[in-house]
Amino acid sequence: MNDFLLVFRRDYKTKEVQPSPEELQAHLSRWREWFDDLKARDVLARPLQPWEGAGKVVKHDKTVTDGPYAEIKESIGGFIVIRAESYDEAAKIAGEAPILELGGTVEIRMAVG
């Protein structure tokens, strides 16, 4: 088994694509159900890690700016680490992620070494 990082991104800024409070509660319930399912299948290596919307960016010249960049609508909402045999299996698991219901994306990376 390999460890795969699943990074969840979506547009958190555009008002027209944000869920209503009721939709958000239902959506969060689907996340809990999905995590419970991943735990039951023993593929969840590390639980969801949410992040603040604010942050900092350190550039090559060592300047530090506020980030993420304001012009980028899609930002990271969190990540998990799963166990899977291959990228194909990891992609199948990522394809079940509730973030996709809100037009989000899941980036997949395999740990090396």
pLDDT at 57: 84
Distance between alpha carbon 77 and the CA centroid of its chain, in Å?
5
Mean pLDDT of 9-31: 88
Q: Which two tokens stand for residue 103?
A: 């037009």
Q: Of the segments 7-11, 36-40, 77-81, which one has the largest average pLDDT value?
A: 36-40
Q: What CATH number does residue 90 fall under?
A: 3.30.70.1060
What total of structural domains would you count in the chain?
Answer: 1
pLDDT at 12: 77
Which domain range does residue 51 map to? 2-110
Half-sphere exposure of 54 (CA within 13 A, CB side): 2
For residue 71, is pLDDT > 60?
no
Give the chain's mean pLDDT: 88
pLDDT at 68: 64
What CA–CA distance (Å, rounded) separates 41 from 103? 26
